[in-house]
Structures are given as structure tokens and as C-alpha cells.
Amino acid sequence: MKKKSYKSMYVAAAVIVLVSISAGFYGSKADKEELQGNMNYYQTIRTNPRYTKECLPAVAFEIEHLEKDEDFTDIEDSDFEEEIAFLGQMGIVEGVDQNIFDPEADLNRAEFLKMVTVAFGRDVDEGSYDDEFSDVDQDDWFADYVQAGVDYDMVNGYSDSSFKPENQVTYAQALKIAMRGTNCGFFEEDLKEFGVYTQEYAKDWYEGYMDLAEFLNIWDESQNHKMNREEGAKVIYDLMEYSLATYEIDMRVVKY
């Protein structure tokens, strides 16, 4: 059976980050002005000299995700309410039930890997998993995401040939997955500079990622800190915000 790309199933052309499609009717003058302002902003992004069709500034989304609009009812007390709400609007994070995000629930390696692949527009081919790990089966919901993680050099297994998808993801693991997951090799030069590819941290593989996170002044934790759902959302949001700022693009949701 021919493999299908999840992305190509919905749209051939990538849509630039932070644009959400709404089918509402803009009748009032204020609505029309808002629509025009959003379209102008969208065109500003598209005409940014750093943007090309081959390499989006930070994040590309498919229509499948842009049509989602998660409205979580249990994040009001979260320290990262704004970040979770934003990622929900963009379809990057989903609830565990209708309108329930459960911010303090454990976040495992498979779940975080999916969040990153969606956030940074990585292609995930249906039926692509090649049985690389002893504890990931073809019919597992996360199998193709794991294969994408391997293909894009985002994840590695353990010495016993396992992936441990149900293990709670640590902060160091999350940084590696997310920093390598950004498209167009956004952090590639930074990772080289901080010794990730030169085995400078051969004994402590995570130190380069931790040092880079500190240098970028993004949210930090101990490398062994086991993350929950709200913390995973925060890591992704911070890296998105930093990469977009590099291209002088504001974090906002544009409706048109």
C-alpha cells in the first residue's frame, strides 16, 4: 500500500505560521478593518525577505490543524495559561477530553514528540514505521510520529533497542526533541557551537542543550526534571517565540 503523508492529505502548499482560518462573515466596519489589518500582517510575513517556500521562518501548519480551536476550561490557574491557550488555538496541543487540557498531568515521550512534529510542520507518513524499536508496534497511535522523530534526527532509542514511549519526558529530552525538531535546521549552528555534535559532552549528552536553553534565556529546569503537559507546552511556545523573533515576526493568531 502506498504511504500517504498526513500533510499532503490536506493541503499541498504550506501555510505560514500564526494564521488561523475562520469562516465567519465580516459585516461591520470594525470587522472589515480587523480583517484588512490581519491580511496586511499576513502579507508582511509572506514578503519577509527571509521567507522562502522552501524554508519557512519557523512553523508551517496544514489546514487540518488550522481549523481547530481548542477552548480549555481548566487552565485558568496554570502559570502558563496564555501559552497553552495559544497553542490550543493553533492546534498544536489537544485536550485529554472535551475542553479539558489537564495541565498537571504527566507528559510522556510519545506525546511530546507528537506536539513537536505538529508545531514545526514535520511530515509524518502514514504507515511509515519500520519496527525499529522493540516496544513500539505498527498499530500504536504514535508509531509514525516515532519514525518521523528518527528520520529527522529528533530522537534516539535506548541501548536495549527500546524507545520507552510511555516514560515521562524529562526536560533535557524535551529540549533535544524540540531543538532538533525545528524545520530548516533553525538551531543547527547553535547546537554545533554548544558542542552537541562534537561529542564535547560525550558523558553528559544533555549539557549542550541545557547550555543553549540558558543562553537563549528560555524557561529552564534541571535536566532530570520530569515534565507535565503545561511544561511541555511552555518549552514549545518559548522556542517558537524565539525563532519567530529572529525573523521579526510577532506571536499572534491572524484570522482571515
Q: Return the residue matching grid coordinates 508496534.
A: 137
Comparing 226 with 203, which gets the higher pLDDT? Answer: 226
**How far apart are the C-alpha atoms of 122 and 95, rounded to whole Å?**
21
106-120 pLDDT, tens digit per residue, is 999 999 999 999 888
**Short-list 202, 203, 204, 206, CA closest to 214:** 206
8-28 pLDDT, tens digit per residue, is 333 323 333 443 333 344 457
126-182 pLDDT, tens digit per residue, is 999 999 999 999 999 999 999 999 999 999 899 999 999 999 999 999 999 999 988
In this structure, are residues 92 and 118 in contact, taking their beta carbons and an 8 Å threshold?
A: yes
61-98 pLDDT, tens digit per residue, is 444 444 555 689 999 999 999 999 888 887 789 999 98
Residue type, 32: K
> How far is C-alpha 174 from the geometric centre of its chain's CA atoms?
11
What is the model's pLDDT at position 64? Answer: 44
What is the model's pLDDT at position 16? Answer: 38
> How far is C-alpha 64 from the geometric centre of its chain's CA atoms?
15
What is the model's pLDDT at position 24? Answer: 42
**Short-list 19, 66, 26, 10, CA closest to 46:** 19
CB-based contacts of 170, cutoff 8 Å, min separation 6 = 223, 224, 225, 226, 227
**How far apart are the C-alpha atoms of 147 and 167, rounded to whole Å?**
17
Comparing 2 with 54, which gets the higher pLDDT? Answer: 54
**How far apart are the C-alpha atoms of 53 and 161, rounded to whole Å?**
37
Q: Which sign does the torsion angle of CA 82, 245, 251, 146 carry? A: negative
CB-based contacts of 136, cutoff 8 Å, min separation 6 = 129, 142, 143, 146, 163, 165
